[in-house]
Structure 1
Amino acid sequence: MGLITPAIGRPRLPQRIISPCFGANRRYLTNNGFFRVSEEVREALNANKPVVALETTIYTHGFPYPENVALASLLESVVRVNGGVPATIGILDGVARVGMNPEEIIRLTESAGKDTTLKLSRRDLAHVCGLRLAGKKFHGGTTIAGTMLLAHLAGIKVFGTGGLGGVHRGAESSMDISADLTELGRTPVTVVSSGCKSFLDIPRTLEYLETEGVYVGTFADGRKGNVDFPAFWSRDSGVKSPTTIENEMEAAAIIHAQHSLRIHSGLLFANPVPEEFAIPKETMDEIIEEAISQAVAAGISGKDNTPFILSKIKELSKGKSIPANRALIESNVRRATIVARELAILDAKQDEAQGRTSSRFNPALSSPASTAKERLSNASISLSDAPPAAPTSQISPNPDIIVAGALAVDFSCDYAPLPHSPDQTHPTPQTSNPAIINQTIGGVAHNIAKAAHLLGASVQLYSVVGDDLAGRAALTKLKDEGFNVDGIETLPYPDRTGQYVAVNNANKDLTLAMADMQILEKVPYSTIGHMFHKISVQKTSPPKVLVVDANWDADALHEWLSLSRSWPNTTTIFEPVSTAKGLRIFPENLHHDTQHPFPHPIVDIITPNSMELKALYDHAFELGLFDHPVWFALVDALGIPSSGLRVPLAVTTTSALVDEGIPQQAVKLLPFFPTILTKLGPEGVLLTQLVRPDDPVLGSAEESQYVLARSKNGDERVGGLYVRLFPAEKVLGSEEVVSVNGVGDTFLGAVAAGLVKGKRVQEVIPFAQRAAALSLMSEESVNPELEKLEGEIGL
């Protein structure tokens, strides 16, 4: 399911509205010892941004750890990607929190199943908050009723959840009726759910809601006429919905009118489970009857009844209820966000009609044909906690290059031996050594982006820093340099800004490096989604180049690559970073899929050093990828002569490289990475390339010497094999080398800058080598004098 749903047209509001909006003079609960609203949510509410409440009982009493963490991250991401601000609501240490940061969500989800983590409805809130004063601190997941109440106290109007509680079967004698229903009767919050669970008494539930004065409508989802009220796992319940809603705009209009009329009850919008995950009503009826029978036989009742039946439904459905459950929750949260977005626009238009202005949210009415991206862009939704930055720091609407990866503080420790030091070249291990230590702003992605930026390219860096001194120093330094920082997210404690420490010998050659990049190893999915949202809102055309480094964890890395597949004309580049991290480029399921073992290609260009190349080769071998028919088909299409390539490879590279197996390893990896730039230090750069049939090198007399094989079987993907060693123009002496940090990153940044100028890789490499040499002679990871080479980039 896609995260962004296309929007629909909305009518213009009357310009003269007599009755004031309920929210115009609202007085909501302020932060105190029992109740806290996060800064992000407060700012969003004050700016009339779309805010969506999210409950936490599904995390504390629905899904086990760490599945609940993943679900929490997903749902917050769904809200952000669709233009809203998530307000996850729960209790931590006896304090009700509206809007929880990642650390708080992890604390709550980790506590699932513990005796001190409770399921909290309206009646329980004063109890758990009050006992904090007596030294008893509880965590708690809020039910729909508890979440509604706290959301209303904060001023939030829309709440997305899974399934509503209801009237239980046999309630005429047991009086077992969910507090969710009475809460809807007295709290003006809109709930978007997939109806109520089908083991409840749905007709009596709807009757009870009518008695409570609760409006109930079901989204038509393209269906005509009166539709059924959904039954959670099933789209139909056999009971007609009181009303039918066509789309999110109609839902928002109803909410807007409800608040304008100051009707102090909630609204329920039922959103059927997505069709592809729905379980037919007849199937669910049989499962539910059996689950209820087993509950009766076991004597299960009261608060234990629902968990028992849910467990039995999972068992009897052979697990099919779980994916349906996840899908409907995600669908409901997405729909709630779009409703909140439409409502924010209506509220803003009313403010405008009554002479009030919003400080941050300036909506524009759009036509039915407008896209979600255009509507978000027109609405100028800002998801940043900070005030609007100066124009120089705004995200460029059309950066030529997007670089995603590590931003860090670099420490370069250069061994400076004393006259009596036992080794005048290498530091002595396990003791203190004299050194010259320099601190700069670095990180692989930062260095790449800075190099491209200095060479005149339009660049946007996406990374994360911690809310610490190093992070603030890094952002300040980048701003001082005129660098764009709006793509950099700040994560709260305990996340730490990345740091890299390089220990070099007296010749400035790397002896040992230590990197703390854990902040990128556990970036919440919501943060990635926030970055993607910024891209989707700000951009009007895809970047020409996307560079991703391997400091992301595997999931985040492949999310970036998945994003790039929607940009067919964008060149993707992968920087492996290290022998261990570089292996993340291979998706985990490669060796399981016998039909399609790998995408073609995984990424367009990779830039390993010789050790990283070998690690990639060995890993592919271990996965058995070189034995697959798809791999054979592509390699056969190269037209490699029966005599092999050892001699021609020795001619176009060197015998030493062939003896090491470096060009051979690169050739075997070409089906995955059609252009490989292997960085060989003083020996230069080895270009190994799978050229397409229309590549100009195939018809060039000058470059024919590097075409070692030509396809003869008419394969549309493969024209031939191009292998060329680019020796370094000048090998610097040890006295000229100041620091090796950032040299490879500078090279890649220069390659990217050249590619956006329309140059071929072959044309760009010599220029990139000159740029890298400049960084060798600089204390900084990227030499500021790179900007002097900008005029050469068009060569």
Structure 2
Amino acid sequence: MSGAVIRRRPLMVLARWTSRRACQGRDVGRVNLRRPDQATSLRAAHTLARNNRYYRLSEEIRDAVMTNKPVVALETTIYTHGWPYPDNLGLARHLEDLVRSSGAVPATIGILNGVAIVGMAEREMKELMDPTSKAIKISRRDLAFATSQKISGGTTIASTMMLARRAGIKVFATGGLGGVHRGGENSMDVSADLTELGRSAAPIAVVAGGCKGFLDIPRTLEYLETQGAVVATFADDRVGPVDFPAFWVRDSGIKSPLTIKDEMEAAALLRTNSSVFFAGPVPEGAAISMPEMEEMIAHALRAADESGVHGSANTPFVLSKLKELSQGRSVIANRALVEANVKRGARTAVELRKLFTASNPNVQITYQPSLQTFPDEPSPNILAASSDQKDPLPDILVAGSIAVDTSATYTPFSGSSSPLQPVLQTSNPASISQTVGGVGYNLALAATFTHTPALLLTSVASDTPGKLVLSALQSQGLSTAGIHMLAPSSSNRTAQYLALNNANADLNIAMADMTILESSGPAVLASAQSHITALAARQKADGTTRWLIADANWSAPTLHSFLTSARDAGLATAFEPVSTAKAARLFDLSASSPARAGKTPLPQDSSSADSARPQLATLMSPNAMELSAMHRAAASAGLFERQDWWRCIDALGIPSSGLGAVLRHASSPALVDAGIPQQAIQLLPFVPTILTKLGAEGVLMVQLLEAGDPRLDGAEGAAHVVARTQVESSDVGGLYVRLFGPTEKLEPGQVVSVNGAGDSFLGALVSALVRTGGQKRVEDLVNYAQTASVLTLKSAESVSPELKTLEL
């Protein structure tokens, strides 16, 4: 008997959550913005969730709802049944970041081991999405069974809506809505999504891309009308009535019941209704035409019928078939649609918050956008400088990361059978040290140590590592004026970097958590504009070139926005690639990564002879592997097919016989055989000075010379100018290639840590360029920068304090 009670308890508990009686007829979606008794009701509901072993709210979501922050619910069936692992986990992180970058809080909802979780942590999402979890598809009807059997699964629109409502979340964004299946008038195959939209226990908006085109769209709209659900389609800059979208298709041929202009109108509509479905059309660039889609759908439906696939298995089968028939275009459209809807949902939640606040002037405003600083939060003392303390005006801006660096170097026992490499899958003796680092911090510190004030533009969370790195900034004399302090959350964690080295202190593998930069980039960029403007004004006043250095820890859009803003202001720009994976972001020029304010990273390609070169940065300092990664990325992006690229390469004056012999002399046969100088030359139109760090072999400098450069004709360039332009009207003068040997050869025992060595090189180089005011060229300062790098290699610090002793 007791066993029967235990088996029924999950069903009873979830029934309590789904019952309107539990809300006592109140609008729980608005409780904390209206009467005190309603706020009490929601607090009681959240207390029940805290003590309920079948339903759990994360602390972040509980706090966000109770303090009136915009929250956007995200389903998990799209991950468990729509994308393979680990792509699904990457998409989940990306969509959460999109919500945060729009000023809202993401609440990913799923079922893990029988517990319905609103606001899944990353480790929980990873466990759910891993194929070994055998996650099932969980709709409203399946919730009680999943909890009683401790099953894991992705929540559908219906179950996500239900669980979001219980938490007081008012906006839910996803890909496509379920609907009435073709022939549904006989089969009664109607998605539970539609019925759930008709429930009025609490207001909720679902933002999705219409319903999938293989469903019966007219009957779906008719069913929603019967359920009393409001349906409206975003105009998306179109005028007049618009079609209801059909997922991959913008225009289904069936007019939408209502049309709304933007998220502000969406919020106003939601404010006065209990349930609203907002249909967002797929972005134009990813859309598929209706005739083409209908033909593929007909094939897919026939295949499903012939295979006897019906019910809940029908949609996954048809989607898989459409992916095959469209050669992957349906997947591209799917992702573009989901991303667009998540952004729309987040903006709608933000606008709804504004409306609630305006209509409730007595409500205390506790919300701050997640990408802004938190002025109401007690700040560390280091952020509150005394009035008589003034930071020096920076000559260099560094947009990059700051992190807690942990370095573990293998220290084998005497007589070990593995004297160089640690043994896998067991514990190894090691020397472990922890310092504050991060590429951006290292660059700023190297510049400051070499006597050029630098301002770091970055973000940290108000967690323990965050307070540690801020203390480090103060102790090193770096300004905190460019720091954004964020409330800690699943994606707002102060960055950390872990390096595992062999016995020679050479890097074996590194792990980096830079999630915070992905989510906070737009806010840091917005505040950076005033610093860029001020630095450009100083440059104009005294004629000394100033720099912005950006590292690749930012997302591609933010990285390009930093570089574009600095370039437009007249500043010189340097790029630090960070890693082979992130280096390619410099050449990610897709439609999803334009710079802000409508500006693009590159000028439009043109066949005009006087059009600008396609320049992305002034200078960069990759290692050989990062250079190759960037070359591959540029080739994949089709950048070597641009007319302005060809025009620039042709103007270099490279003979038809090639430069093989000349390059072997200017660099080395081994480098030419590896293709390193050739790759650098092909990237010069985008970055006219490339310094490839070669470790113990030194540094290879490849540079595009301007017309009129004295090195083209003078004796000083005779050994290094390997080609000269033959085009009189070109602003390109020629090609400079030079291999700099190492300034000091280190024995393995002399290398303490490789962390920060490359950053010391670039930071010191740019510092020297500013200090010499144009009196010295890059090649005059390469050995100075190499010496800075060597000092850091011999130091346990991320940047050696001995850089302060360097003299030009």
TM-score, with structure 2 as normaliser = 0.70
- Residues 110/613 of structure 1: CA separation in 2 closer, same or farther (3 Å cut): closer
In the alignment, structure 2 segments of 5+ residues that lack a partner are 1-29, 385-390, 533-546, 590-604, 607-612
Q: Does 1:149 align with 2:162?
A: yes
The 1-side partners of 2:173 and 2:781 are apart by 51
Per the alignment, in what secondary structure is the counterpart of residue 117 of structure 2? strand
2:506 is equivalent to residue 513 of structure 1: yes
Shift of 1:191: 0.6
* 2:563–2:617 CA contact under 8 A, matched in 1: no
1:783 counterpart letter in structure 2: S
1:118 to 113, 132, 136: 136
Q: Is the 8 A contact 1:465 1:491 kept in 2?
A: no
- Show the counterpart of 2:145: 127
Q: Secondary structure at the match of 1:223?
A: coil
Q: Give me the whole-angstrom Cα distance separating, in 2, the residues matched to 1:311 and 1:435.
A: 49
**What's the CA shift for 1:198?**
3.1
Q: Is the 8 A contact 2:140 2:162 kept in 1?
A: yes
Match of 2:364 among 357, 362, 369: 357
Structure-2 residue corresponding to 1:337: 346
SS in 1 for 2:682: coil
Check the 8 A contact 1:233/1:279 in 2, yes or no. yes
Q: Secondary structure at the match of 1:74?
A: helix
Deviations 1:528-562 (A, max 9, x none): 5314333344332686433437xx7xxx8867765
1:142 deviation in Å? Answer: 0.9
Shift of 1:155: 1.9
**AA paired with 2:240?**
G
- Determine the structure 2 residue equivalent to 1:14: none
Please tell me whether the aligned partners of residues 471 and 497 of structure 1 are also in contact (alpha carbons under 8 angstroms): no
Q: What is the aligned partner in structure 2 of residue 409 from structure 1?
A: 406
Give yes or no for the alignment of 1:670 onto 2:720.
no
Q: Distance in 2 between matches of 1:287 and 1:434?
A: 60
Q: Distance in 1 between matches of 2:694 and 2:314?
A: 67
Would the aligned equivalents of 1:678 and 1:686 in 2 still touch at CA under 8 Å? yes
Q: 1:342: how far off?
A: 1.6
Alignment partner, residue 530 of structure 1? 519
The AA in structure 2 aligned to 1:148 is M
Name the count of aligned residue pairs: 702
Mapping of residues 575-724 of structure 1, within 5 Å: 604-607=618-621, 637-639=651-653, 666=677, 669-673=680-684, 674-677=688-691, 687-693=701-707, 710-714=724-728, 716=730, 718-722=732-736
In 2: Cα distance, 1:239 partner to 1:649 partner = 64
1:401-480 to structure 2, matched below 5 A, reads 401-404=398-401, 408-410=405-407, 440-442=435-437, 446-454=441-449, 455-460=451-456, 477=472
- Identify which range, 174-183 or 469-478, moves more after superposition: 469-478
> Residue in 2 aligned with 1:276?
285
Classify 1:772/1:271 alpha carbon distance in 2 versus 1 (closer, same or farther; 3 Å): closer
Change over 3 Å in CA distance of 1:138–1:769 after alignment to 2: same
Asked whether the 8 Å contact 1:98–1:151 carries over to 2, the reply is yes
* Structure 1 stretch displaced more, 403-412 or 302-311: 403-412
Work out whether 1:215 is the aligned partner of 2:226.
no
Q: Give aligned-pair identity as a percent.
A: 42
Alignment partner of 1:303: what SS? helix
**Contiguous gaps of at least 5 residues in structure 1:** 1-17, 259-264, 362-378, 505-510, 590-594
- 1:63-78 to structure 2, matched below 5 A, reads 63-78=83-98
Q: Which residue does the alignment assign to 2:194?
A: 181
Query: Secondary structure of 2:703's match?
Result: strand
Which of 250, 275, 283 is the equivalent residue of 2:265?
250
What is the DSSP-based 3-state SS (H/G/I as helix, E as strand, rest coil) of the residue aligned with 2:257? coil
SS at match of 2:88: helix
Once the 2 structures are TM-superposed, how far is the Cα of residue 107 of structure 1 from its aligned partner?
A: 1.7
Q: Residues 726-774 of structure 1: CA distance to partner in whole angstroms, max 9, x if unpaired?
A: 799x97999x989575454323212233456664535654664665576
Local SS of the residue matching 1:719: strand
In structure 2, relative to structure 1, the CA distance for the partners of 1:576 and 1:178 (3 Å cut) is: closer
Aligned CA distance change for structure 1 residues 719 and 72 (closer, same or farther; 3 Å): same
Contact 1:401 1:752 in 2 (8 A): no
**Distance (whole Å) between structure 2 residues aligned to residue 385 and residue 102 of structure 1:** 28
Q: Which residue of 1 aligns with 2:17?
A: none
Give the whole-Å Cα distance in 2 for the aligned partners of 1:316 and 1:619: 29
- The alpha-carbon distance between structure 1 residues 695 and 428, as it changes in their structure 2 partners (threshold 3 A), is same
CA offset digits 1:618-644 (Å, max 9, x no partner): 999x99x9x999999756634479999
- Sort the Cα spacing of 1:287 and 1:38 in 2 relative to 1 into closer, same or farther, 3 A: same
Q: CA deviation at 1:502?
A: 6.2
Q: Write the letter of the residue equivalent to 2:162.
A: L
Alignment of 1:360-399 (within 5 A): 360-361=367-368, 381-382=371-372, 387=377, 389-390=379-380, 392=382
Partner of 2:764: 750
Aligned amino acid, residue 548 of structure 1: D
Greater RCO between the two (CA within 8 Å, min separation 6)?
Answer: 1
**Is the 2:405–2:437 Cα contact (8 Å) retained in structure 1?**
yes
Is structure 2 residue 337 aligned with structure 1 residue 328? yes
Distance 1:35 1:385 in 2: 33
Shift of 1:193: 1.5
> Secondary structure of the residue that 2:93 maps to in structure 1?
helix
Aligned pair partner of 1:546 in 540, 549, 555:
549
| Kept after mapping to 2: 8 A contact 1:194/1:230 | yes
In the alignment, the residues of structure 2 paired with residue 581 and residue 166 of structure 1 have an alpha-carbon distance, to the nearest angstrom, of 41
Task: Identify which of 168, 173, 178 aligns with 1:160.
Answer: 173
- Displacement after TM superposition at 1:446 (Å): 4.3
CA distance in 2, matches of 1:709, 1:321: 48
d(CA) in 2 for partners of 1:562 and 1:774? 32
> Contact 2:73/2:171 (CA < 8 Å) preserved in 1?
yes
User: What amino acid does structure 2 have at the position aligned with 1:546?
Assistant: I
The structure whose residues are more often helix, as a share, is 2
CA distance in 1, matches of 2:622, 2:280: 49
- Alpha-carbon distance change, 141 to 537 in structure 1, aligned in 2, over 3 angstroms: farther
Describe the superposition over 1:203-261 as per-residue Cα deviations: whole angstroms up to 9, x where unpaired. 33323322322222112223333322223233333433222111111111222334xxx
Where does residue 8 of structure 1 map in the other structure? none
- 2:175, 2:56 → 1: CA distance? 25
Q: In structure 1, how many angstroms separate the alpha carbons of the residues matched to 2:187 and 2:667?
A: 82
Q: 1:75 and 1:82 mapped to 2: Cα distance?
A: 11
Q: Is the 8 A contact 2:441 2:456 kept in 1?
A: no
Once the two structures are TM-superposed, the CA of residue 514 in structure 1 deviates from its matched residue by 3.6
Indicate yes or no: 2:400 matched with 1:400.
Answer: no
Closer, same or farther: CA 169–446 of 1 in aligned 2, 3 Å: same
> How far apart, in 2, do the equivalents of 1:205 and 1:617 lie?
48
Q: TM-score, normalised on structure 1?
A: 0.71
> Counterparts in 2 of 1:741-780, with a 5 A limit?
741=754, 742-755=756-769, 759=774, 761-762=778-779, 764-765=781-782, 768=785, 771=788, 775=792, 780=797
Q: Is the 8 A contact 1:80 1:529 kept in 2?
A: no
Question: 1 CA distance for matches of 2:237 and 2:129?
Answer: 37
CA distance in 1, matches of 2:670, 2:770: 34
